[in-house]
Structure 1
Amino acid sequence: MRFQKERSAGFLANQMARLFAKGLQKRISPLGLAPAQFMTLLALWDEDGLTQSELVRRLDVEQATMANTLTRMERDGLIERRSNPSDGRSQSVHLTEKSKALQAPAIAEARAQNATALADFSDEEREIFLVLMRRAIAAMHGN
């Protein structure tokens, strides 16, 4: 039996994720952000002062990848690291005024990318699609 890419949830999800990431990158790069930085900022906009380990867990990325992302973000003036008052061995990551100012425009660009991706869906289809995606993600988290 021949593998049919158009019938493979994994293939389609991967293709959609790549296209979404490419569109998002195009939209946020004028703001001076890369997708990995945007994802990190989303976590920090939700809760400023997380540690690197907490960011790794929340974003489900490798420790080395997060370390590189944070180094670049610090260099670009998006974050500052401070000694963690509750654990002197770790540092907490904090937003700067520059990254706080980017929250509204960056989120607007992400919403615009979402709108582009789902433009041909009715409101009902959009809700069903999101529910089904969340269910697939939850099923894979259990394995």
Structure 2
Amino acid sequence: MSFEKSTSAGYLANHMARLFARGLQRRVGPLGLAPAQFMTLLELWAEDGLTQKELVARLDVEQATMANTLTRMERDGLILRRPHPQDGRAQQIWLTDRARALQGPATEAASAQNEAALAPLTPEERARFLSLMARVTAAMRDEED
């Protein structure tokens, strides 16, 4: 049996993710954000004061990747790190006023990218596509556990 890109879920998901990331970069880049920073900000906008370990778990990224992202975000004035009051080894990550001010423009930019990506689909197809993606993601996450 030969490998066919058009029937490979992994190939298609990876290709779509790369195209989506490039589109998101075009949209959030002018705000001074990279896609990885935007994803981290989404978590912090939802719950400020998370630890690096919590962000790693929520975003399914490697510890080193998150460390580098947070270092850039701190350098860019988006976050502050403070000692965790109950865990002397951990630091909490807190948003700066600059990061809070970016929430509206950045989420609008991401919504525009989502809209562009889903434009060829009907509302029913969109709902089904997103539901199927969520199921596959959950299944892969369960397989790792």
TM-score by length of 2: 0.96
Q: CA deviation at 1:88?
A: 2.1
Whole-Å Cα distance in 2 between the matches of residues 131 and 68 of structure 1? Answer: 32
Paired position in structure 2 for 1:117: 117
* 3-state DSSP of counterpart to 1:48: coil
Q: CA deviation at 1:59?
A: 0.9
Name the amino acid aligned to 2:10: G
* 3-state DSSP of counterpart to 1:89: coil
Q: CA deviation at 1:42?
A: 0.6
Whole-Å Cα distance in 2 between the matches of residues 4 and 88 of structure 1? Answer: 51
Paired position in structure 2 for 1:129: 129
Write out aligned runs for 1:78-93 (5 A): 78-93=78-93
- State how many pairs are aligned: 143
Q: Deviations over 1:20-67 (max 9, x none)?
A: 001001110000000111111011001000011111111111111111
Q: Deviations over 1:66-118 (max 9, x none)?
A: 11111111110000011111212211000000000000110001110000001
Does residue 74 (structure 1) correspond to residue 74 (structure 2)? The answer is yes
Q: What's the C-alpha RMSD, in Å, of the aligned pairs? A: 0.8
Structure 1 unaligned spans of 5+: none
* 3-state DSSP of counterpart to 2:89: strand
Structure 2 unaligned spans of 5+: none
Whole-Å Cα distance in 1 between the matches of residues 20 and 11 of structure 2? Answer: 14
Does residue 32 (structure 1) correspond to residue 20 (structure 2)? The answer is no
TM-score by length of 1: 0.97
